[in-house]
């Protein structure tokens, strides 16, 4: 007896989506086939953007994987799974396709393909011709996918080669969303480039990514994601802003998914190199930051700066707002007693009783006031010499000297080969080539680090900025206060290396590895020393 209940399975891969393949087409043809057989369609299950060639449509989280599990548990016995053809289910070769279909048959599920009208029934061992047709269909599907994969790979290799040598003229997929293609070539979209620069400026000034997302939504700035994509109508997201801040495409570079730079000027440049480096420096400083939301108001000006002297762990910032205690007198009068708000700093590990017993709890307001009113005047004479940058320059010079020496040795060995070199010389040449490649990689890495370090403002610039923004730190306007405290936090973290909670109820401020000042719980300086860098 034929099954009376059918479940339609539809699927497309990412590449098929771009070519206009329609899930609705698969579903409508499936409904027509089911109607011709007198089957009732119970539901339609879909795997969108999953490849049958790589088997991702059968991995955990896919609709087909879930169906297989349910079938093995007997939930679909007596039903039929209806798909367009075998390659919608599997393109991994005849063995994989046969095992999938026969596995469903053993679970009491028939499998039908409406493209060729085949039905692989659960209650039959299968005719020899049906088995041969299944194997041939699966084999053809696998071979076609394999050819397509090789053609795609060859096409990308050719395209990458043309991008690298500057001969690529045809449009390439995945163009940056701030670039327009015109008859004259690729040009920057004026409005989107302005928005992109605003995003960079906000982040450099200390505004977090979540806050940037909120600002863009408050402005009514439409997202750039195409409407047909999954998130196309859902506005801006943290992940997309982060990609904009980290992808070198904004500099005009074409970088492959594995990080190889093919061209440094393939796209129109939207962000200046100086601004890019400043954003990278800000990203490095903010790495590991806790999310700061608007409701928090960026209250902790010393975020990521305070540590425990005993365990080295970070500090816990607590802002307790006392709403007061309300009670009603016998006379009926309602009275509310309200205490002061409390803002405290203490070792987070000690608070959680995890491998630290530093019991010091500091008044946050005292520490903030001390840093702004006592420490900054002491640091006015601090010069902005960047010792990190100097060390990087020395490192680059040493690496270049070593590389030049190895290149000279390599040239001598190559001359020796021309005169009839031995196998040992050839081995030495290979070793030198490897050494030169390693040195070149190290030089490139150090040069990028130097660019980031050089992009950081000097200590004098930060101190001057903090001084000009002091009045806005306590502004009644949320926008002004949040923005200002974010900028000042970034500047303070460049000026002050750390603030240490001691075990004696005091705190120590260290602008660098050599200078330090100790203050008591009331903010009175006890002792300290300053060593100019």
Across the chain, which has 533 residues, the per-10-residue mean pLDDT values are 78 58 79 90 86 72 87 89 83 71 85 83 57 56 56 59 62 79 85 93 84 87 70 72 89 76 79 85 65 50 89 86 65 67 86 88 91 75 55 77 78 65 70 83 81 59 64 67 74 85 94 88 88 62
Per-residue pLDDT, 20:
45
Helical segments of 82-127, H only: 86-89, 94-106
User: What does residue 305 show for φ and ψ, rounded to 5 degrees?
Assistant: -120, -25
Sort residue 305 into left (φ over 0), alpha (ψ -120 to 50) or beta: alpha
Question: Which residue is it, tokens 């002091």?
Answer: 470
State the DSSP H helix or E strand holding residue 455, giving kind and residue range, or none if neither.
helix 423-455
Q: Which CATH number fits domain 5-147: 3.10.129.10, 3.30.479.30, 3.40.190.10, 3.40.50.1390?
A: 3.40.50.1390
pLDDT for residue 195: 93
How far is residue 518's CA from residue 23's CA, in Å, rounded to a whole number? 69
Q: Which pLDDT score, from 0 to 100, does residue 446 have? A: 81
| CB-count exposure of residue 385 (10 Å: 0-12, 13-18, 19+) | exposed
pTM tops 0.75, yes or no: no
Predicted pLDDT of residue 292: 41
The three-state (H, E, C) secondary structure of 222-271, written as one string: CCCCCCCCCCCCCCCCHHHHHHHHHCHHHHCCEECCCCCEEECCCCCCCC
Domain ranges of the chain: 5-147, 179-286, 306-323+342-383+460-529, 387-455
The CATH number of the structural domain formed by 179-286 is: 3.90.1750.20
């Amino acid at each position: 007896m034929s099954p009376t209940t059918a479940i339609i399975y539809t699927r497309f891969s990412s590449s098929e989506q771009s070519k206009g393949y329609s899930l609705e087409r698969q579903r409508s043809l499936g409904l027509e086939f089911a109607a011709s057989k007198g089957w009732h369609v119970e539901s339609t299950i879909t795997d969108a953007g999953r490849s049958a060639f790589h088997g991702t449509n059968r991995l955990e989280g896919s609709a087909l994987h879930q169906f297989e599990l349910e079938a093995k548990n007997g939930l679909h016995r007596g039903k039929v799974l209806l798909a367009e053809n075998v390659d919608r289910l599997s393109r991994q070769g005849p063995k994989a396709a046969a095992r999938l279909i026969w596995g469903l048959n053993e679970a009491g599920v028939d499998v039908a393909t409406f493209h060729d009208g085949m039905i692989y029934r659960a209650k039959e061992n299968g005719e020899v011709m049906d088995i041969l047709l299944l194997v041939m269909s699966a084999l053809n599907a696998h071979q076609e996918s394999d050819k397509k994969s090789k053609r795609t790979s060859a096409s990308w290799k050719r395209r990458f080669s043309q991008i690298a040598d500057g001969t690529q003229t045809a449009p390439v997929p995945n163009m940056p969303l701030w670039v327009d293609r015109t008859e004259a070539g690729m040009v920057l979209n004026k409005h989107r480039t302005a928005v992109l620069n605003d995003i960079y400026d906000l982040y450099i000034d200390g505004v977090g990514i979540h806050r940037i997302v909120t600002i863009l939504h408050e402005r009514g700035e439409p997202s750039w994601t195409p409407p047909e994509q999954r998130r196309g109508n859902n506005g801006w997201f943290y992940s997309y802003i982060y990609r904009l801040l980290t992808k070198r495409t904004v500099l005009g570079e074409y970088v492959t998914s594995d990080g190889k730079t093919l061209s440094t000027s393939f796209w129109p440049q939207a962000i200046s190199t100086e601004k890019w480096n400043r954003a990278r420096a800000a990203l490095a400083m903010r790495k590991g930051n806790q999310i700061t939301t608007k409701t928090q108001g960026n209250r902790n000006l010393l975020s990521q700066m305070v540590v425990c002297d005993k365990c080295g762990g970070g500090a816990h910032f607590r802002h307790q707002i006392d709403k007061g205690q309300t009670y009603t007198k016998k006379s009926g009068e309602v009275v509310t007693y309200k205490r002061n708000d409390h803002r405290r700093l203490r070792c987070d590990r000690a608070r959680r009783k995890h491998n630290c017993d530093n019991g010091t709890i500091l008044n946050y307001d005292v520490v903030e006031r001390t840093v702004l009113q006592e420490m900054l005047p002491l640091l006015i004479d601090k010069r902005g010499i960047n010792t990190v940058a100097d060390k990087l320059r020395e490192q680059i010079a040493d690496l270049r000297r070593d590389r030049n020496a190895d290149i000279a040795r390599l040239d001598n060995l190559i001359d020796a080969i021309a005169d009839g070199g031995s196998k040992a010389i050839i081995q030495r040449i290979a070793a030198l080539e490897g050494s030169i490649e390693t040195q070149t990689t190290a030089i490139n890495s150090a040069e990028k680090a130097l660019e980031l370090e050089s992009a950081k403002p000097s200590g004098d610039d930060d101190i001057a900025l903090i001084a000009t923004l002091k009045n806005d730190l306590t502004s009644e306007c949320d926008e002004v206060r949040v923005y200002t405290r974010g900028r000042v936090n970034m500047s303070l973290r460049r000026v002050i290396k750390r603030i240490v909670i001691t075990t004696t109820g005091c705190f120590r401020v260290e602008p660098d590895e050599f200078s330090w000042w100790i203050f008591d719980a009331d903010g009175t300086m006890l002792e300290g020393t300053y060593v100019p860098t």
